[in-house]
């Protein structure tokens, strides 16, 4: 009788181990993608998968430093340019929040692709953020790895005209939840 109990106990342990191993094998993993540049255009998610570039250009003659970022996805392109005066020639960029001012600095432009008569595709500006309607925050710059991190948003109105130059409608373009995630940049000295 003792042998039956020992055999029964061994069988229960083996079945329990087999079930445990089977449940461990069915583990599901979820992958989340973090884009280098992303935003929401009028409630639609956008990330530039076609082209993406960033550079910091220092011009010694004027002592200006400009951060340029361009991202394109399909027929949409977003470009930024932040100009800092009295800058130094270091390979970084100053941290801070940059609100579009009366001079259009920083420049924040949304453009759409158009095909000309020769079939060449160019990006034509649709709207640009005006004073008080656009913000870029640079929260982290790694000058060694040459990466930049921050956030951005803009709101711009587009006036639509008919063939006679009369206003037909006004379209609001909002870019929200913009993120720059450790995006690589190059340094250009002039």
pLDDT at position 22 = 44
Higher-pLDDT residue of 98 and 5 is 98
Q: Return the pLDDT at 117.
A: 87
In a domain, 19, yes or no: no
Average pLDDT for the chain: 83
In a domain, residue 44? The reply is yes
In a domain, 29, yes or no: no
Domain extent at residue 175: 34-189
Flag whether 5 is in a domain: no
pTM: 0.76
Residue 160 confidence class, pLDDT cut points 50, 70, 90: confident
Residue 62 maps to a domain: yes
Query: Per-residue pLDDT for 7 more than 60?
Result: no
Is there a contact between 181 and 151 (Cβ–Cβ < 8 Å)?
Answer: no
Q: Which pLDDT belongs to residue 33?
A: 61
More confident residue, 56 or 8: 56
| Domain total in the chain | 1
- Asked whether residue 4 is assigned to any structural domain, the reply reads no
> Could you report the per-residue pLDDT of 136-151, keeping only the tens digit for each?
999 999 999 999 999 9
pLDDT (tens digit, 9 = 90+) per residue, 53-83?
A: 999 999 999 999 999 999 999 888 999 999 9
Q: Is residue 6 part of a domain?
A: no
Question: Does the residue 25 lie in any domain?
Answer: no
């Amino acid at each position: 009788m003792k042998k039956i109990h020992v055999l029964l106990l061994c069988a229960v342990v083996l079945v329990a181990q087999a079930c445990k191993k089977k449940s461990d094998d069915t583990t599901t993993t979820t992958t989340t993608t973090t884009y280098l540049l992303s935003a929401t255009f009028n409630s639609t998610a956008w990330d530039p998968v076609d082209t993406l570039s960033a550079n910091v250009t220092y011009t010694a003659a004027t002592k200006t430093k400009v951060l340029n970022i361009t991202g394109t996805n399909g027929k949409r392109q977003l470009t930024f340019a932040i100009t800092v005066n009295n800058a130094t020639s270091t390979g970084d960029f100053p941290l801070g929040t940059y609100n579009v001012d009366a001079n259009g600095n920083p420049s924040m432009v949304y453009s759409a692709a158009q095909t000309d008569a020769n079939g060449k595709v160019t990006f034509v500006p649709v709207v640009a953020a005006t004073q008080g309607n656009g913000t870029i925050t640079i929260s982290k710059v790694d000058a060694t790895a040459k990466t930049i991190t921050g956030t951005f948003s803009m709101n711009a109105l587009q006036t639509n005209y008919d063939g006679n130059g009369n206003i037909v409608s006004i379209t609001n373009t909002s870019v929200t939840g913009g993120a720059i995630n450790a995006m690589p940049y190059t340094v250009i000295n002039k």
